[in-house]
Amino acid sequence: MRNRKSEIRNPKSEIRRPDLSVNFAGIKLKNPVMTASGTFGYGEEFADIIDLNRLGGVIVKGISLKPIKGNPPPRIWETPSGMLNAIGLENPGVDVFLREKLPFLGNYDTAVLVNIFGYSLEEYVGVAERLDGVPGVSGLEVNISCPNVKAGGIVFGTNLKAAFELLSAVRNATRLPVIAKLSPNVTDITEFAKVARDAGCNGLSLINTLLGMAIDIRSRKPRLANCTGGLSGPAIRPVAVRMVWQAAKAVDLPIIGMGGIMTHEDALEFILAGASAVAVGTANFVNPRATVDIIDGIEAFLAQEGFGSIRELVGQVRMA
Ligand SMILES: Cc1cc2nc3c(=O)[nH]c(=O)nc-3n(C[C@H](O)[C@H](O)[C@H](O)COP(=O)(O)O)c2cc1C
């Protein structure tokens, strides 16, 4: 007897689902939603809560050449609509990452971008070289918001010359797509976007956290042991959307937009401003399912508004 089920037409299957896929600097993403570095560990930490296969990509926590212990506590302080953190880029170093962290993500069908950093140009280059040609790594996101201890602590990401030299050196050290993660702690973000382009980077990621500080008025001590920390969350979103919009107009590079994305509406703001993909950070602490909720929300929005692909919306903010 023939299976009657196969003869029943399913009206739902005839509705075309919007295409969420994005080719970001040669990296194929099934949808534009990734996890922001440092807020999603190495993926394993969230694997019991969400299906990692649903993510466009995982941008892992920052990796350096050698292990780093991080800052003493307190390292996190909640602020109005945001969070200050001074974790101090704690991580096990690139060798342990390759041996113990990366293989887990290989079990999933999602792009893996490795966020790298260092305290000298040579350290950045060393990590980039270690990751070159490693199966399962789709690209490098270079966190340039670090001080160069060999050059008096000048922050790579806030000095045009230092940023150019660093990004050029990393570009020459790997065959992987190189995405420059820009610091928002600058006067003109477009100058740094242009430096990344001139150094041969394949994409931009912005924004990293804004430098902030909070003080306990009774003890008169800073809330963070490190005194200052990086501000993230909804408090920084309008700044981030503005910077993505300015960078997208200044250079012809694809952008991963981030900064305070909590909902699919927030993510779509970044896409209209010019981002081809987005990353979700602080929201993961509030709602560990935020990424999948955002993916579902984007898909539903596109279907409701009659768009066939997310790509139709990139940079489509109307100016008049
Ligand atoms: C706890 C914490 C740790 C972070 N660690 C990193 C890191 O290792 N490397 C990096 O480039 N950015 C790091 N970031 C910055 C985020 O990736 C992101 O750029 C920023 O938080 C803005 O996005 P959000 O407001 O959605 O969190 C960290 C942010 C937080 C809150």
Report the run of H or E that residue 182 belongs to, with start and end: none
How high is the pLDDT of residue 8? 47
Q: Which residue has the higher pLDDT, 53 or 320?
A: 53
**Of 255, 211, 204, nearest in space to 232 by CA:** 211
Q: Cα of 87 to ligand 1 centre, how many Å?
A: 10
Report the run of H or E that residue 280 belongs to, with start and end: strand 277-280
pLDDT in tens, 218-262: 999 999 999 999 999 999 999 999 999 999 999 999 999 999 999
Q: Mean of the per-residue pLDDT values for the chain?
A: 95
For ligand 1, is residue 281 a contact (CB within 6 Å)? yes
pLDDT in tens, 20-54: 999 999 999 999 999 999 999 999 999 999 999 99
Q: Would you tell me how many other CB atoms lie within 10 Å of the CB of residue 50? A: 20
pLDDT in tens, 128-183: 999 999 999 999 999 999 988 888 888 999 999 999 999 999 999 999 999 999 99
Q: Over 70: is that where the pLDDT of 6 sits?
A: no
**Of 106, 21, 101, nearest in space to 56 by CA:** 21
Among protein residues, the one with the nearest Cα to ligand 1's atom 9 is: 62
Q: Cα of 40 to ligand 1 centre, how many Å?
A: 9
For ligand 1, is residue 115 a contact (CB within 6 Å)? yes
For ligand 1, is residue 256 a contact (CB within 6 Å)? no
Distance between start and end Cα atoms, the chain: 63
146 catalytic per annotation: yes
Determine the number of helices (DSSP H) and then strands (DSSP E) in the chain: 9, 18
pTM reported for the whole predicted model: 0.95
How high is the pLDDT of residue 149? 86
Of ligand 1's atoms, which has the minimum distance to the CA of residue 61?
8
How high is the pLDDT of residue 5? 44
CA distances for 229 relative to 196, 215, 233, 266, 305, angstroms = 25, 12, 13, 24, 40
For ligand 1, is residue 85 a contact (CB within 6 Å)? yes
For ligand 1, is residue 143 a contact (CB within 6 Å)? yes
The answer to whether residues 208 and 157 touch, using CB atoms and an 8 Å cutoff, is yes
Q: Over 80: is that where the pLDDT of 14 sits?
A: no
- Coil/strand/helix, residue 23: strand
Of ligand 1's atoms, which has the minimum distance to the CA of residue 141?
11
